[in-house]
Structure 1
Amino acid sequence: MAKSAYYEPGTNGVERLPTAMTMFHASPLLMRSPHWHAQVEVNFIVRGWAHYKMSGHEVKFRQGELAMFWGGLPHYLDDASEDLIYAGGHLPLVHFFRLRLPTDVQSRLMQGATLVTSDTDAADPVNFARWNQYARSGDPMRAGVAVNELLLRIERIRFGAYSLLSGDSASSGAPGMDHQTSPIVVRICDYIADNFREDIDSADIACAADIHPKYAMNVFKKSTGMTINEYVNLLRLSYAQALLMLDDANVLHVAMESGFGSLSAFNKSFRKIAGMSPSDFRRDVRGHPSMTGNERAPRELSHQ
């Protein structure tokens, strides 16, 4: 499908808010290149269809399907129907690891698999629209209800049929999480969420979680497929990705503001996930034509 405008990482979008629970209900723009964010993404296709290129595989979500994937691996919406409307949310790991899902689902999602289920019903379009309204209402109680109801809806996936689609990046034999490690991962994620822009290391994080550093590293790696340092860097990179969109963005300033101790460390980490330097990313973004008033922009959909 041809569209004249494309999604770009926003300075106040999901990339800028790597530890926030955000929701959406919109007609989205296509993406011209992959992006990443440090949350698990939930998509419910209200109308039409969406085609994503994931890390290691491609997948098409159709009307009435509910899907979930880890946004920390580069991915992008490269094709969609003209009438596409999708709804959902971005779950920080601190919420994701509170979910009561089968351990193979959590571990495989973290390693790049995509969960898709057609076991949905007529209540889902209504609920997703309401959750988005509540989350954006400015009322903390309504927002809390929206988060809790969405998490319960995700947990209900385990009672129906679902598929886990994967490429080379996902392993069906990956170790999972158990009831003892889940609270530990939640404590680790809580501390990182509050401090990822500061000069923290595994010892600081383990101390805050009240466990031995070696045990903290082992538990986190087993549960997420990442080291603690890799996760901290991912949050910093997601935040930096949004800062680089600013017209006056200075790469050194972005590196420091995002929590990297040096420009060389920032360049190395950014190139590893983006496949290019921060300077090239910024130049590439600025080289894209600006949207005009006639171009289709993403819009939130309201329901009375």
Structure 2
Amino acid sequence: MDSRPYYEPRANGVERLPTALQMFLTSPRLMRAAHWHAQVEVNYIVRGWAHYRMAGHEARFVAGDFALFWGGQPHWLDDASDDLVYAGGHLPLVHFFRLRLPADVQAKLMQGATLVSSATDAADPVNFERWLEYTRSGDPMKANLAVDELLLRIERLRFSAYQLLPQTQRVADAGGLDQHTSPIVVRICDFIADNFREEIDSVDIAVAADIHPKYAMTVFKKCTGMTLNDYINLMRLSYAQALLMRDEASVLAVAMDSGFGSLSAFNKSFRKVSGMSPSDFRREVRSRPSVALTPAVAVDGRVN
């Protein structure tokens, strides 16, 4: 009889803070069911091994593996070694859209693929421990550094060997995930990931998922804890925030490129989520103080 403790996901599995970076370094409990969250999950296996059932494929990570997958798809840690220790984080979409990954890789991740790389080194567990400390420090500068350093580490994956799962035929179901609702929500997430920058509504989504619009809204809300509109808005606003942080485009151009039909709708939604206007958000991000080391040397306009 398996005496290991289990984690019981909440009914909807969605975390309460989808826009905040959350880091962890722990020996996780196995899950009794799949869960969901509106962030990209980063896993680094410090010791042991972990087995996940994803929406359509399975993945086994071993010590030294670095993995990345979209938490908006159902996933389930269903088996692991007794000595498993893993580090990682739940990366908000705004930061995922900032990543300079190959476009096809980013798209495949949003559609349910899992990226795995064994090209890691002894610095990785040390880094994850520091990022965890920084995000829990209460110091905004340290929290921002943790985000920036994690993004740079993820971007380095493109220069090393990695694989995207599944490499073979996808499994028919996820071996115990809800065989009725999971495929529907996966189809909905796939369609929204491909089209959130366009003008879409519940009817478009339902047609893509081959179900009735009311059923699409009911199933999605039940499984993710979010309405379709809330989920689409989260995708659009996260994408817009990423553009505001890195581009010189006007606020109007950012609004249109992110899928909002008007500047007024963009401003209203943006303020509701972030508590400030898009222009104020851009100014705040760009006014954050740099961290100067000694000796300080300016390289490409940045202090190193």
- The normalised TM-score by structure 1 is 0.57
Alpha-carbon distance between aligned partners in 2 of 1:62 and 1:113, rounded to the nearest angstrom: 18
Q: Which residue of 1 aligns with 2:284?
A: none
Q: How many residues align?
A: 195
Alpha-carbon distance between aligned partners in 2 of 1:110 and 1:148, rounded to the nearest angstrom: 21
The answer (yes or no) to whether the contact 2:9–2:32 under 8 Å persists in 1 is no
Alpha-carbon distance between aligned partners in 2 of 1:64 and 1:156, rounded to the nearest angstrom: 15
Q: Which residue of 2 aligns with 1:82?
A: 82
Question: Residue 139 and residue 271 in structure 1: after superposition, are their counterparts in 2 closer, same or farther (change >3 A)?
Answer: closer
Residue 269 (1) aligns with residue 220 (2): yes
Alpha-carbon distance between aligned partners in 2 of 1:231 and 1:87, rounded to the nearest angstrom: 37
State the SS of the aligned residue for 1:36: coil
5 Å matches for 1:24-103? 24-103=24-103
- Deviation sequence 1:78-109 (CA, Å, 0-9, x none): 00011111111111111101000011110110
Question: Residue 140 and residue 271 in structure 1: after superposition, are their counterparts in 2 closer, same or farther (change >3 A)?
Answer: closer
The answer (yes or no) to whether the contact 1:49–1:81 under 8 Å persists in 2 is yes
State the Cα distance separating 1:269 from its structure 2 match.
2.4
Gapped regions of structure 2 (runs ≥ 5): 172-188, 203-213, 226-304
Alpha-carbon distance between aligned partners in 2 of 1:231 and 1:8, rounded to the nearest angstrom: 34
The answer (yes or no) to whether the contact 1:116–1:164 under 8 Å persists in 2 is yes
5 Å matches for 1:109-148? 109-148=109-148
State the SS of the aligned residue for 1:225: helix
Counterpart residue type for residue 135 of structure 1: T
Alpha-carbon distance between aligned partners in 2 of 1:227 and 1:48, rounded to the nearest angstrom: 38
Among the aligned pairs, what percent are the same residue?
Answer: 63
- The normalised TM-score by structure 2 is 0.57
RMSD, aligned α-carbons: 3.4
State the SS of the aligned residue for 2:51: strand
State the Cα distance separating 1:229 from its structure 2 match.
9.9
Question: For 2:194, which of 222, 225, 237 is the aligned residue?
Answer: 225
State the Cα distance separating 1:28 from its structure 2 match.
0.5
State the Cα distance separating 1:232 from its structure 2 match.
11
Question: Residue 63 and residue 152 in structure 1: after superposition, are their counterparts in 2 closer, same or farther (change >3 A)?
Answer: same
Gapped regions of structure 1 (runs ≥ 5): 171-219, 234-262, 275-304
Counterpart residue type for residue 23 of structure 2: M
The answer (yes or no) to whether the contact 2:111–2:193 under 8 Å persists in 1 is yes
State the SS of the aligned residue for 1:127: helix
State the Cα distance separating 1:9 from its structure 2 match.
3.5
Alpha-carbon distance between aligned partners in 1 of 2:67 and 2:200, rounded to the nearest angstrom: 23
The answer (yes or no) to whether the contact 1:55–1:74 under 8 Å persists in 2 is yes
The answer (yes or no) to whether the contact 2:48–2:83 under 8 Å persists in 1 is yes
The answer (yes or no) to whether the contact 2:117–2:161 under 8 Å persists in 1 is yes
The answer (yes or no) to whether the contact 1:66–1:116 under 8 Å persists in 2 is yes
Alpha-carbon distance between aligned partners in 1 of 2:37 and 2:195, rounded to the nearest angstrom: 15
Counterpart residue type for residue 220 of structure 2: S
State the Cα distance separating 1:8 from its structure 2 match.
2.7
Question: Residue 4 and residue 156 in structure 1: after superposition, are their counterparts in 2 closer, same or farther (change >3 A)?
Answer: same
- Deviation sequence 1:57-92 (CA, Å, 0-9, x none): 001000000000001111110000111111111111
Counterpart residue type for residue 270 of structure 1: K
Counterpart residue type for residue 72 of structure 1: G
State the Cα distance separating 1:272 from its structure 2 match.
6.3
Structure with greater Cα Rg? 2
Alpha-carbon distance between aligned partners in 2 of 1:272 and 1:226, rounded to the nearest angstrom: 21
The answer (yes or no) to whether the contact 2:53–2:77 under 8 Å persists in 1 is yes
Alpha-carbon distance between aligned partners in 2 of 1:232 and 1:64, rounded to the nearest angstrom: 42
